[in-house]
Amino acid sequence: MRKIAYKAVVMGVSAGGLAAISEILSQLPTGFNLPLLVVQHVHPRQDAAIGNLYNNICPLPVKEAEDKEEIAPGCVYFAPPNYHLLVERSGTVALSADEKVNWARPSIDVLFESAVYAWGGQLVGIILTGANNDGARGLKLIRAAGGYTIAQDPTTAEYPEMPQSALDAGAVLEVLPLGEIGLRLSLFGNGKANDN
């Protein structure tokens, strides 16, 4: 087993995501020191900023990502509605209005693939509930690069298609029920190297 000090967590969720993300973010400890970047499929014209939905339940600062901002440890970044969220090698965020990928903008695959190019295998990738296959290809890239990949147990997902697609693609190292994913993440975000 080799030791890896992870640099970031990337997470993708679609249908059924509000409850799933709420549960995970509420379990994170105050001292969680990795950035967490999230693509949640939402309506392109959603009125409320996504961060406002979760700031009251998460001990970490939660915000919509802004183009070219530096990615900070211990902060949760959401893709704004109708923008792809990418990671640049400089450690900054990029937002893109390019064409939809997997019928989605933001696309989970776009985030995951850009994060692999920026950070290689120093990533934890997570796929949650959803009704399509977005994220399976990107999660497989994370695993191939040596990152740690988790899928929500499809039997605990409101919409099992997305985690099941990741499993079918051979992209998943660990399958966890929703209630254990936040607790598992707390082990990665404690500043220590982790077995992989």
Catalytic residue among 14, 107, 114, 165: 14
Is 14 known to be catalytic?
yes
Catalytic residue among 22, 41, 67, 114: 41
Is 107 known to be catalytic?
no
Is 90 known to be catalytic?
no
Query: Strand pairing of 36-40 and 76-78?
Result: parallel
Closest of 49, 120, 108, 116 to residue 84, by C-alpha: 108
Q: What element of type H or E holds 167?
A: helix 161-168
Task: Classify the phi-psi angles of 74: left when phi > 0, otherwise alpha if psi is within -120 to 50, otherwise beta.
Answer: left
Closest of 5, 18, 21 to residue 181, by C-alpha: 21
User: What are the C-alpha distances in Å from 74 to residues 16, 19, 32, 49, 166?
Assistant: 25, 21, 6, 19, 27
Catalytic residue among 84, 107, 134, 165: 134
Which residues belong to the active site?
Answer: 14, 41, 134
